[in-house]
Amino acid sequence: MSDLQLPHINYAALAPMLILFGAACAGILIEAFVPRERRYPVQLGLSLAGVVAAGVAVITQAGTRTITAGGAIAVDGPTVFLQGAILALGLVALLFVGERSLEAGGPFVAQAALIAGSEPDRRQVVRPGATEVYPLMLFAIGGMELFVAANDLLTMFVALEVFSLPLYLMCALARRRRLLSQEAALKYFLLGSYSSGFFLFGIALIYGFAGRVDFAGIHAAALGSDRSNALLYGGLALLSIGLLFKAAAAPFHVWTPDVYQGAPTPVTGFMAACTKVAAFGALLRVLYVAFDRVSWDYRPVLGVVAILTMLVGAVFAVTQTDLKRLLAYSSIANAGYLLVGVLAMSKDGLSSSMFYLVAYGFTVLAAFGTLTLVRDADGEANHLSRWAGLGRRSPVFAAAFTFLLLAFAGIPLTSGFTSKFAVFAAALDDGQTWLVVAGVITSMVLAFPYLRVVVMMWLSEPAESTPTVSIPGVLTSTGLAIGVAATLVLGLVPAPLLDLSTKAAEFVR
Amino acid sequence: MSLSAYVPILGLFALAAAFALFSVTVAPFVGPRRYNRAKLEAYECGIEPTPQPIGGGRFPVKFYLTAMLFIVFDIEIIFLYPWAVSFDALGAFGFVEMLLFIGTVFVAYTYIWRRGGLDWD
Amino acid sequence: MSAGQVALVATLAVPAVGASVVAALPSRADRAARLVGTVAAAVTLVVSAALYRPGDGGWFSFGPNPPAIRPWHDLDVSWASGLDLRFHLGVDGISYPLVVLTALLTLLCCGYTLWHVPDPGRGRLLTALLLAIEVGILGTFLALDLVLFFVFFEVVLLPMYAVIAVWGGPDRRHAARKFVLYTLLGSVLLLVGVFTVVSAAGTGDIVALTAANPLSRGTQLAAFTLLALGLAVKAPLWPLHTWLPDAHTEAPTVGSVILAGVLLKMGTYGLIRVAVGVAPEGARWAAPVVGSLAVAAIIVGSLVCLAQRELKRLIAYSSVGHMGFVMLGIATLTATGLQAALIGNVAHGIITGLLFFLAGAVKDRAHTGLLDDLGGLRERAPGLAGVLGFAAIASLGLPGLAGFWGEAFAVVGSLRRGGPLWSTLAAIAALGGALTAAYFLRLLRRVSHGPASPVVAAMPAGLARPELASWGPLVLLALAVGLVPALVLGMAHDPVQALTEVVNR
């Protein structure tokens, strides 16, 4: 016992996560000790400061390529890029979460698990000022930071739980439509735990194969191990299920529409943008670092998953009448396009996938942000038919949303086009023509639901019951402006970010 | 790979199965049968369950809260044992880490306390 | 940056900025906004006309072994280096006439909108959309990079959709949806084709691709098939044309003019510049099929026109036939044929643009486009009938007017190509030309001649000055191109020659 080796820890490289978790703990203490009426500004300020500080810490690590904390954490190009992306998107999501001018007391309640419609639940719905959501956000963002930096499967699993549990809880915090919100949270929790189980079982099998859980060890063992390959493939399959669940890829996507619909809209935006970055960041690391030697074996399988995902997302999106569900299916389809980029298995594939994640994240955040503005007496009006003629009533708002939808549809001069082009080009360079063909065809199919919304807004007569578009507060306006501007800029001049992602596209092993 | 390594395991399986089968089939014939209400409950452990509200089967949520708190501290203790054993080897680093760990649990604990999680009524 | 490069950028920037300014102006300044849009369109026309470089200045500056595309002005900057995308613009004798035509027609349409806004008003938005469409079309003609070409090709789609769906006739929604469905399908094929070429050749630069032809035979066949299918939807080539009659009929007058005048040309221009240039071997391989379909389009278009009972629909179907001639010219892959296609493009743009203006004028006055209800226009409105007669005769290909050269040269090109197939096609196409004459004469007989029908008798007689202003330039151009085809052919001669060398290498 005396020769115990203490792990070397590079605190600077871990700083972003340490800052976020520290801020989250401080947030809990604030919940405990600061009086209720003063919590909101303190919590919001602390969260924003924490995220910004973590962002600064990430930027200082721009050139770092190291493995630290006893091999548990890898800080390299993709880590820094993706951590930065999660923080940037998380910051915008925080702006939407922090908005209080749209609904008295903000869109969240304090206690997720009270029986919907019961006396205490009704009391908390009318009481303003629940701020639990901010520490939860910080924990989730911190967990995602850890998730994309994890260098062994166990750390990855811990990180998975650290960011999943707050998300489950946040889903149930909606002030309006409590029952729907709780249903969403429960579904997400049950299916999420189930997929965590798969992930864990996969780790066990991989450990059985390689005798290690760190990625370099698995990589070395894949070259030649005397254990059965069934362990390797079985383990990889189960791991992938866990990750693809978070990424919302078919056939592990069934939770997505319900959860996206039921969760409070700012949280939905956060999930659609940041969870996707985290899930794909981890998937990229697992596939590119640990399992790149068996890529020939799993590529066809994941290719089929990708095509299935694109098809399911595109085809079901056509039939949706609720905007949140429509965006949920579009997010599923986008997971498919991202998989196309991932499966390119090249430096280009890595960089284009990372670019896609950022571009898509900003667009989807802004889209969900706009959804929070269209309201009637019952809260948000998300049914498609309610949006008829919105273009007449508030042309600026409708124009912005139209632009975002066009970006989703991949129309040129938006970030949607450049990002799709990037992943498809990477996949083609690598000979994955079948994926690209499927991708192009499904994106055409997917253009129709978006165009239907556009037509609905501009060409239909406004009905009597057309909801109003609320004047957004400073926070939401800022968030929307950032999202729309990013969508436009990444469409017109994608070069700077692309260069950045290309420069970052190198894992350490 | 030789399968002989699995023979003892298979033997154990067979033994276990035989024991279970034997106990289940033989017990009704040889054992005494004195039924009462408690023994007819689903979890037949001989103890009368706590009085149930109407409809049955529901516990006040407070019990779960207490149980969860217990588990948290239980696990904390489990981590404390190996730490204490190798305290010398870990040195100051280990001490700080453990303080941080206890501190984190404490943060959650204060939240529960301040929010009334420990009030029984 | 040289003056030419500035002009290239300005050709796209002026209408783009104009569109945003017009859209941003408040709705109470509607007329002022339309005026701003018209000014922007006028500036665009001036700038685009300034792209011309007379003579063969610089023609030999490319050295002894010049590339097949030698743009007069060339702007090549990196757009997204990570994706190997380039912002490569250029103009030469093939694209210049179309660029100017686009700028001219947009100006005329904007000016027309200044005077008359179709229901439901909001002319400022219509002007902004027209300018946005202009950006897309000009960009398509100027792009020398495959991806950029595709990007601009796509830009046109949605504004055009909006123009049809908002300002169109009674069945506008259906027509607009059909337009989008077809065009999106074409775009997907085009995009896959672009991807195929870019990934196989490692570059999307049209100049480099045309010069070097780095693609293997198999790739060329696949690429040409995909590109040609995608572009043929836009052109449109029979049997992919069915969106066209609906869209043209339902679109407002200015929409129809832009659609028929220049939007269709994106397809044929793309076929010449992109499909043939990048995959010449594929073009040689597919030429008989394209030629046969083109001739089928000529015949089918003419026959359908003979049976048409609606004015705008008739003109729309006549476009199918005329574009058939253009496609036939391209399919021959001879210098004559390509020249015919280019001049046919320009002529069709001028004449059909004019015809749609006139049809719009008739419909605005008579409130109907049914041939059965019209008649005797010559008595009631001799001016309008006169211009209509001129446009119809120009369109049917009377020698001395613009329509003649494209049709005649397409047939000649096909004959020169030789062989039983091409001779037969030439013969059938010539027959189609005769049918064209038949249905246009039928049109004139039904609309202009005979006793005035009740609706015609009730319509106002005179012509408004804005109408004259928007028709005048087109009439003059139809005459000018007809009398001096060298206006177009002269500047196109060398690039076409270079292209045929590539194809027959």
Tell me the pLDDT tens digit for each residue of A195-214.
999 999 999 999 988 888 99
For B71-117, the pLDDT digits (tens) are 888 888 888 888 888 888 888 888 898 999 889 888 988 888 888 77
CB-nearest partner of A422 from C83, C152, C166? C83
Q: Inter-chain contact C166–A413, Cβ cutoff 8 Å?
A: no
Residues of C with CB under 8 A from a CB of A: 78-85, 147, 150-152, 154-155, 157-158, 162, 165-166, 173, 180, 184-185, 187-188, 191-192, 195, 198-199
Range with lowest mean pLDDT among A228-232, C58-62, C186-190: C58-62
Q: Which amino acid type is present at position C172? A: R
Instruction: Flag whether pLDDT at A1 surpasses 50.
Output: no
* Predicted local distance difference test score (pLDDT) of residue A155: 93
Q: Which amino acid type is present at position A71? A: G
CATH number at residue B68: 1.20.58.1610
User: C5-10 — which CB contacts under 8 Å span 24+ positions?
Assistant: C5/C73, C5/C74, C5/C75, C7/C47, C7/C48, C7/C50, C7/C51, C7/C73, C8/C51, C8/C73, C8/C75, C8/C89, C8/C90, C8/C91, C8/C142, C9/C75, C9/C89, C10/C47
Band of residue A315 on the pLDDT scale cut at 50, 70, 90: very high
- Residue C505 burial class via C-beta count within 10 angstroms: exposed 0-12, middle 13-18, buried 19 and up: exposed
CA distance A441 to chain C (A): 7
Q: How large is the average pLDDT for residues C393-413?
A: 83
Q: Inter-chain contact A458–C162, Cβ cutoff 8 Å?
A: yes
Q: Inter-chain contact C82–A441, Cβ cutoff 8 Å?
A: no
CA distance A297 to chain C (A): 24
Q: Which amino acid type is present at position C30? A: D
Domain membership of residue B91 (yes or no) is: yes
As given in the structure block, the two tokens for residue A361 are 């994240």
Strand (E) or helix (H) holding C138? helix C123-142
**Chains B and C in direct contact, meaning 3 or more beta-carbon pairs closer than 8 angstroms:** no
d(CA C303, CA C318): 10
A447 touches chain C (CB under 8 A): yes
Q: Inter-chain contact B89–A33, Cβ cutoff 8 Å?
A: no
Question: Using the 8-state DSSP alphabet, how is residue A287 labeled?
Answer: I
* Predicted local distance difference test score (pLDDT) of residue A149: 93
Q: Which residues of B touch A25 (CB under 8 A)?
A: 104, 107
CB-nearest partner of A413 from C151, C173, C184? C151
Instruction: Flag whether pLDDT at A267 surpasses 90.
Output: yes
SS3 A26: helix
d(CA C81, CA C132): 26
Range with lowest mean pLDDT among A108-112, B45-49, C480-484: B45-49
Q: Inter-chain contact B107–A28, Cβ cutoff 8 Å?
A: yes
Question: Using the 8-state DSSP alphabet, how is residue B6 labeled?
Answer: G
A428 touches chain C (CB under 8 A): yes
Domain membership of residue B47 (yes or no) is: no
d(CA C247, CA C174): 9
Question: Which of B13-27, C267-281, C357-371 is predicted most confidently?
Answer: B13-27
B108 touches chain A (CB under 8 A): yes
Range with lowest mean pLDDT among A61-75, A130-144, A180-194: A61-75
Q: Inter-chain contact A436–C192, Cβ cutoff 8 Å?
A: yes
* Predicted local distance difference test score (pLDDT) of residue C58: 47
* Predicted local distance difference test score (pLDDT) of residue A160: 94
> Which range of residues forms the domain containing residue B104?
55-121
How many other β-carbons are positioned within 10 Å of the β-carbon of residue A366?
28
Q: How long a stretch of residues is chain C? A: 505
Instruction: Name the residue with higher pLDDT: A94 or C334.
Output: A94
Q: Which residues of A touch B90 (CB under 8 A)?
A: 4, 6
Band of residue A165 on the pLDDT scale cut at 50, 70, 90: very high
Range with lowest mean pLDDT among C66-75, C204-213, C309-318: C66-75
Report residue A404: phi and psi, to 5°. Answer: -65, -40
Q: How large is the average pLDDT for residues C109-132?
A: 83
A291 alpha carbon, distance to own chain's centre = 23
Chain A contact partners (≥3 CB pairs within 8 A): B, C
* Predicted local distance difference test score (pLDDT) of residue C109: 87
* Predicted local distance difference test score (pLDDT) of residue C395: 85
A1 touches chain B (CB under 8 A): yes
Domain membership of residue C333 (yes or no) is: yes
Band of residue A20 on the pLDDT scale cut at 50, 70, 90: very high
CA distance C92 to chain A (A): 25
Range with lowest mean pLDDT among B53-57, C4-8, C364-368, C410-414: B53-57
**Chains B and A in direct contact, meaning 3 or more beta-carbon pairs closer than 8 angstroms:** yes
Domain membership of residue B7 (yes or no) is: no
Domain membership of residue C423 (yes or no) is: yes
How many other β-carbons are positioned within 10 Å of the β-carbon of residue C437?
17
Domain membership of residue C102 (yes or no) is: no
Q: Compute and round to an integer the Cα radius of gyration of chain A.
A: 22
CA distance A106 to chain B (A): 20
Chain C residue nearest residue A413, CA to CA: C151
Band of residue B51 on the pLDDT scale cut at 50, 70, 90: low
Query: Of chain A residues 392-411, which have a CB less than 8 A from chain C?
Result: 406, 411
Structural domains of chain B, count: 1
Band of residue B52 on the pLDDT scale cut at 50, 70, 90: low
For C423-473, the pLDDT digits (tens) are 888 888 888 888 888 888 888 888 887 777 777 777 777 777 878 888 888
Instruction: Name the residue with higher pLDDT: A51 or A410.
Output: A51
Strand (E) or helix (H) holding A67? strand A66-68
Cα–Cα distances in Å, from A187 out to A171, A194, A260, A263? 10, 11, 11, 11
* Predicted local distance difference test score (pLDDT) of residue C273: 85
CB-nearest partner of A29 from B89, B90, B110? B110
* Predicted local distance difference test score (pLDDT) of residue C235: 80
Query: Of chain A residues 10-69, which have a CB less than 8 A from chain B?
Result: 25, 28-29, 31-33
Q: Which residues of A touch B91 (CB under 8 A)?
A: 6
CA distance C443 to chain A (A): 35
* Predicted local distance difference test score (pLDDT) of residue C387: 85
* Predicted local distance difference test score (pLDDT) of residue B63: 76
Q: What is the DSSP string of A129-195?
A: ---THHHHHHHHHHHHHHHHHB-BHHHHHHHHHHHHHHHHHHHTTBSSSHHHHHHHHHHHHHHHHHH
Closest CA to C91 of C317, C211, C269, C293: C269
This model of the complex carries an ipTM of 0.79
Instruction: Name the residue with higher pLDDT: A355 or C93.
Output: A355
SS3 A469: strand
Beta bridge partners of A468: A375
For A70-87, the pLDDT digits (tens) are 888 999 989 999 999 999
Residue A391 near residue A188 (C-beta atoms within 8 A): no
**What 3 state SS string does C2-26 have?**
CHHHHHHHHHHHHHHHHHHHHHHCC
A6 touches chain B (CB under 8 A): yes
* Predicted local distance difference test score (pLDDT) of residue B45: 56
* Predicted local distance difference test score (pLDDT) of residue B56: 58
Domain membership of residue B10 (yes or no) is: no
Chain A residue nearest residue C204, CA to CA: A425
Residue C302 near residue C439 (C-beta atoms within 8 A): yes
* Predicted local distance difference test score (pLDDT) of residue A243: 92
Q: Inter-chain contact A425–C83, Cβ cutoff 8 Å?
A: yes
- C213: which residues sit within 8 A by CB, 6+ positions away? C220, C278, C280, C281, C502, C505
d(CA A316, CA A260): 15
Q: Inter-chain contact A498–C80, Cβ cutoff 8 Å?
A: yes
Percentage of chain C exceeding pLDDT 70:
97
- A427: which residues sit within 8 A by CB, 6+ positions away? A340, A341, A343, A344, A349, A435, A436, A439
- Residue A489 burial class via C-beta count within 10 angstroms: exposed 0-12, middle 13-18, buried 19 and up: middle
Q: How large is the average pLDDT for residues C134-143?
A: 90
> Which range of residues forms the domain containing residue C350?
279-505
Q: Which residues of A touch B89 (CB under 8 A)?
A: 1-2, 4
For C52-91, the pLDDT digits (tens) are 876 554 444 455 555 667 777 788 887 777 677 788 888 8
The residue among A353, A392, A440 with the most chain C CBs within 10 A of its CB, best to mutate, is: A440
Q: Inter-chain contact A498–C165, Cβ cutoff 8 Å?
A: no
d(CA A416, CA A407): 4
The residue among C81, C164, C195 with the most chain A CBs within 10 A of its CB, best to mutate, is: C195
* Predicted local distance difference test score (pLDDT) of residue B46: 53
Domain membership of residue C269 (yes or no) is: no
Structural domains of chain C, count: 1
Q: Inter-chain contact A417–C151, Cβ cutoff 8 Å?
A: yes
B14 touches chain A (CB under 8 A): no
Instruction: Flag whether pLDDT at A367 surpasses 90.
Output: yes
d(CA A180, CA A170): 13
Instruction: Flag whether pLDDT at C312 surpasses 70.
Output: yes
CB-nearest partner of A4 from B86, B114, B115? B86
Instruction: Name the residue with higher pLDDT: C344 or C208.
Output: C344
Residue C494 near residue C338 (C-beta atoms within 8 A): no
The residue among A337, A396, A414, A421 with the most chain C CBs within 10 A of its CB, best to mutate, is: A421
For C283-301, the pLDDT digits (tens) are 888 888 888 888 898 888 8
* Predicted local distance difference test score (pLDDT) of residue C180: 85
CB-nearest partner of A4 from B90, B110, B111? B90
Closest CA to C342 of C92, C90, C73, C11: C92
Q: How large is the average pLDDT for residues A212-237?
A: 85
Domain membership of residue C304 (yes or no) is: yes
Chain A residue nearest residue C200, CA to CA: A429
Q: Inter-chain contact A421–C83, Cβ cutoff 8 Å?
A: yes
Instruction: Flag whether pLDDT at A29 surpasses 90.
Output: yes
The secondary structure of chain B in percent helix, strand, coil, rounded to multiples of 5, reads 70, 0, 30
Question: Which of A60-64, A366-370, C89-93 is predicted most confidently?
Answer: A366-370
Domain membership of residue C214 (yes or no) is: no
CA distance A493 to chain C (A): 7
Strand (E) or helix (H) holding A329? helix A323-342
Closest CA to A263 of A154, A182, A353, A150: A182
Instruction: Flag whether pLDDT at C332 surpasses 80.
Output: yes
B115 touches chain A (CB under 8 A): yes
Q: Which amino acid type is present at position A340? A: V
Q: Inter-chain contact C82–A455, Cβ cutoff 8 Å?
A: no
d(CA C265, CA C327): 11
A110 touches chain C (CB under 8 A): no
Instruction: Flag whether pLDDT at A141 surpasses 90.
Output: yes
